[in-house]
Structure 1
């Protein structure tokens, strides 16, 4: 887990340095805060645009899919945060396997939820057909 985070941090730092160098070579003298404002603002809007398109298409089929994606994303942030906190405070071990186990736990319980929803839907559909047949006989 630590090597993965270090590799990610190195990549982010390299990109950061390249942007600062490029801005300086172009004659701009942005502060670090101004660059963060611009770059994160642009990245956020790009992510928002892609998400907006994807969620509009998904909303035609299921709000549950959107809720799942949102929950999964927040859950990833939480489990990574917990593992990083364990590394910083030395209270527990920072392990990628812990993240995987937590995410699998969510997926397992979510699948149970989906199965219950499907069974419930099928029972309701079967019940409606039975009531419709009763009305026809009356």
Structure 2
């Protein structure tokens, strides 16, 4: 772990030297951080933005995005703990410790995903049977005619209920009650 941090800091020093000496850009440390971190942050944002747009097309996009965000937070947390151990001499700073901690999160999340998937599957199976019965009932209800009695003429007008599927295509709401039928007739007069 300590070796990785030393390698990363050496890489940053080399980039700093290249920009200062070879390119001829004279900047303070703060100015250099402003430009380099700003550029890296914007490129990272654009890559993440495209990935999130692609993930949104998937079925469980909220779960996937939550996992990615949590994994990134846990990675930062694990490395912060390892760095704190090195600074305070409260333990050994090892890359293997960080990996073990992240594996713990992945295993716990996998158990959660399996349990949640089983519960969701049982819910879908139970709900699927109920919706099958509801669809049959709706088909029977559609075929029943609407009987409207006009009080002025004392005649009963019988007409079939409009097909709900074709009404949606015409961008009109289907008539469900006698009151709606009466209101539509009055608006036509």
**Shared fold (TM-score, shorter chain, > 0.5):** yes
Q: Tell me if structure 2 keeps the 8 A contact 1:58–1:65.
A: yes
Instruction: Could you tell me which runs of 5 or more consecutive residues in structure 2 were left unpaired when the two chains were aligned.
Output: 141-189
Match of 1:7?
A: 7
Return the alpha-carbon distance in structure 2 between the equivalents of residues 96 and 77 of structure 1. Answer: 13
Structure with greater strand share of residues: 2
Q: Does 1:119 align with 2:118?
A: yes
Do residues 35 (structure 1) and 32 (structure 2) align?
yes
Output the TM-score relative to the length of structure 2: 0.66
Count of aligned positions: 135
| Partner Cα distance (2:131, 2:78) in 1 | 49
TM-superposed deviation, 1:10: 1.0
User: Which position in structure 2 is the counterpart of 1:98?
Assistant: 97
- How large is the RMSD of aligned CA atoms in angstroms? 1.8
Note if contact 1:23-1:30 (Cα within 8 Å) is conserved in structure 2. Answer: no
With normalisation by structure 1, the TM-score equals 0.88
| Structure ranking higher on relative contact order (CA contacts 8 Å, 6+ apart) | 1
Which ranges of structure 1 fall in alignment gaps of 5 or more residues? none
- 1:58 pairs, out of 36, 55, 60, with 55
Separation in 1 of the partners of 2:11 and 2:76?
A: 19
- Who is 1:69 aligned against? 68
The structure number with the bigger radius of gyration is: 2
Consecutive aligned runs of 4 or more in structure 1 exceeding 3 Å deviation? 132-138
